[in-house]
Amino acid sequence: MEFTAQIIAGYLGGKVEGDPNVKVTTVSKIEEGFPGSLAFLANPKYTPYIYSTKASIVLVNEDFTPEQPVEATLIRVKNAYEAFASLLTLYAQSKQPKSGVEEPSFIHKSAKIGKEPYIGAFTYIAEDVVLGNNVKIYPQVYIGPRVKVGDNTILYPGVVIYEECVIGNNCIIHGGAIIGADGFGFASSEETNYKKIPQIGNVIIEDYVEIGANATVDRATMGSTILRKGVKIDDHVHIAHNVEVGENTVMAAQSGVAGSTKIGKNCMFGGQVGVSPHVKIADGVKAGAQAGISGDIRKPGVIVLGSPANEISKQRRSMAVYKNLPELMNKINELERTIEELKNRINP
């Protein structure tokens, strides 16, 4: 598909600076731009590339001020990153959507399928499943008994959804993710060492949630494990039983949240963040990569780093001390030797 700068600016509500008739057919990174492509500049770190890029069009923020001539046509928008995401969404939607039911696949006679579905080959849909309208089920997906999946939701290849889980509207679950496996519940027993505690709850995933590849969300022991509206979790994230994740919270890859933890809305977790069980985390908390959260965080909007996690200002001071530990140790050793020499002089 081919678009002019003027058409793109009209769609985004932006302003063209340069040739309004220049055409693009694809997108590119700004540092790898080439004629006929569109790039964007949102991170100041990449500003030098705007003067050398070969991209035909570059999206920039309204307040961008070039320090030297720019060859590309600019489209000024309120938020270049968000505008670029909108264009990618439009491009993805322009592709021919899949539809129909491929064979071989198994759909139980009691299952209810909405309008315009796509059900890929080797999919298994169990009894009393309810699928909404325009649901896309890619090959080799398993959907267990009494599962409900909302409108416009996409389940990519290899997704497994255990019985009685509920998936909302406009969700995306990527390949290999498992929703509703048993929570890690065992009781100590003299006879068998550990006795399994049946996990009889479910998982509820609200609207506009996206779950990365090979992520796992465990079912509750009783009640529900809940991912609220707009939650985004990356690949290889683990959400344990009875956890509740608040609206629009995001978690990067390899994070793990232990059982019965309650996380507020609009939180952000970096990669490999670990959260202990039964912890409560306030709204808007940000945890840096590899932070270990072992206790409640009750203050909204704080940033924590380290393991055990600490507020960023305190953690930075601690890290500064830690870096100097070898020198401090040498000084302590030197002081100990000096004290010992003084003792020997006083008490020969």
**Structure token digits, residue 123:** 């999919």
Question: For residue 44, which amino acid is it?
Answer: P
Predicted pLDDT of residue 173: 98
Predicted pLDDT of residue 197: 87
Predicted pLDDT of residue 107: 96
Q: Name, in order, each residue with C-beta under 8 angstroms of 274's C-beta and a sequence gap of 6 or more.
A: 255, 256, 258, 290, 291, 292, 293, 307
pLDDT tens per residue, range 309-318: 877 777 777 7
Question: Is 80 exceeded by the pLDDT of residue 1?
Answer: no
Question: Is 80 exceeded by the pLDDT of residue 93?
Answer: no
CA distance 292 to 161: 29
Lowest mean pLDDT among 8-12, 61-65, 76-80, 319-323: 319-323
Question: Is 80 exceeded by the pLDDT of residue 95?
Answer: no
Active site residues: 241
DSSP for residue 222: S
Confidence of residue 20 (pLDDT cuts 50, 70, 90): very high
Rounded to an integer, the average pLDDT of 83-98 is: 80
Average pLDDT, the chain: 92
Predicted pLDDT of residue 260: 95
Predicted pLDDT of residue 192: 66
Lowest mean pLDDT among 74-78, 86-90, 217-221, 234-238: 86-90
Confidence of residue 306 (pLDDT cuts 50, 70, 90): confident
pTM: 0.80
Give the right CATH number for 3-94 from 3.40.1390.10, 3.40.30.10, 3.90.1640.30, 1.10.620.20: 3.40.1390.10
Lowest mean pLDDT among 25-29, 73-77, 279-283, 338-342: 338-342
CA distance 149 to 138: 14
Q: Name, in order, each residue with C-beta under 8 angstroms of 1's C-beta and a sequence gap of 6 or more.
A: 25, 91, 94
Confidence of residue 135 (pLDDT cuts 50, 70, 90): very high
Predicted pLDDT of residue 319: 75
Predicted pLDDT of residue 329: 86
CATH topology of domain 159-308: UDP N-Acetylglucosamine Acyltransferase; domain 1 (2.160.10)
Q: Domain coordinates of the chain in residue numbers?
A: 3-94, 159-308, 317-346
Q: Name, in order, each residue with C-beta under 8 angstroms of 27's C-beta and a sequence gap of 6 or more.
A: 37, 38, 39, 84, 87, 88, 91
Cα-trace Rg, the chain: 27
Rounded to an integer, the average pLDDT of 279-308 is: 93
CA distance 162 to 182: 9
* CA distances to 211, 231, 245, 268, 271 from 250, in Å: 10, 6, 9, 5, 11
Rounded to an integer, the average pLDDT of 90-98 is: 74
Q: Are residues 251 and 269 in contact, defined by beta-carbon separation less than 8 angstroms?
A: yes
Confidence of residue 336 (pLDDT cuts 50, 70, 90): confident
